[in-house]
Structures are given as structure tokens and as C-alpha cells.
Amino acid sequence: MAHYLTIETRGPGLYEFTDQLHPLAAGDGVMVVFVRHTSCSLLIQENADPDVQRDLRAYFERLVPPADDPSMGYLTHTPEGPDDMPAHIKAAVLPVSLSIPVENGRLMLGTWQGVYLFEHRSRPHRRTCVVQMMRAL
């Protein structure tokens, strides 16, 4: 049975939702988390120092500047705003799904790994993730 999670975002950045995944882990196997959008991403990243999340956001804003930046003048898909096509590009570079091993009902994340939704759009969005807990035979 698939589970659905809703994550409300308020602008670009990382939103941790590891705590929503723990109760869905069961038995031994793999949890698959999938985001049903093309302008945000999923990411497993360090959960200790919030500076890491800020720096990640800063890096990707420079890697893929807004469409009204002179360096991005070649973009053609711009009617939905300067943040839209860069959001699609970031959603290509960063994961749309995560596969996390589960053992004895526990997510086998490393000590410093948290699960995040990475929002790339400027305006608030309501994002949907599908979670499938796949048990090993």
C-alpha cells in the first residue's frame, strides 16, 4: 500500500521530513520515496549544522541562476517566471526518488543523514511524496 505525504514549502530551501518516514518503515527491505513534481527535489543530506543547508541552497542558486540573469539568456521556457526553468534544471540534477534500506523496521540512515524536500520555486507550494515500503522476501 502506498502512503502519501504532503509537505508545505515557503520558498526555496531544504525542508526536513525524516520524522514522517520513520513510522512507515517496517520489516526488512527498502523504502522508496518519490516526489510527484518537476520543480523540487528530494535529498539526503547532513542534518547536524543548518549552515550546510544554507550553503547547499546558495551553491545551487549560483549553479543555476534565475532566467533573468544575463548568463541564462538562452533559456526559452520563461513565461512561468524567472524561477521556473531553473527549478526544472535543479530538479534534473537532484534526485526525484530515494531508496533507503530498512532493517528490523528501522531506516538504515547514517548518523548524520536526514531526508529533505528541496524546494526550487519562489512561491509557497504544497508538495506530494509517495512512499512505498518494499519488504524483502
Residues that bind a copy of itself (CB under 8 A): 1-2, 28-30, 32, 34, 36-39, 43-46, 49, 51-52, 54-56, 58-60, 62-64, 74-77, 85, 88-89, 91-101, 103, 108-113, 128, 130-137
- The least CB distance from residue 92 to a copy of itself, in Å, is 6
- For a copy of itself, give the closer residue by CB, 10 or 106: 106
- The least CB distance from residue 112 to a copy of itself, in Å, is 6
- For a copy of itself, give the closer residue by CB, 6 or 128: 128
Asked if 100 and 28 count as a contact pair (C-beta separation under 8 A), the reply is: no
- For a copy of itself, give the closer residue by CB, 8 or 55: 55
- For a copy of itself, give the closer residue by CB, 11 or 93: 93
- The least CB distance from residue 11 to a copy of itself, in Å, is 18
Q: Which three cell numbers stand for residue 46?
A: 547532513
Please write down the HEC assignment for all residues of the chain: CCEEEEEEECCCEEEECHHHHHHHCCCCEEEEEEECCCCEEEEEEECCCHHHHHHHHHHHHHHCCCCCCHHHCCCCCCCCCCCHHHHHHHHHHCCCEEEEEEECCEECCCCCEEEEEEECCCCCEEEEEEEEEEECC
- For a copy of itself, give the closer residue by CB, 22 or 36: 36
- The least CB distance from residue 52 to a copy of itself, in Å, is 5
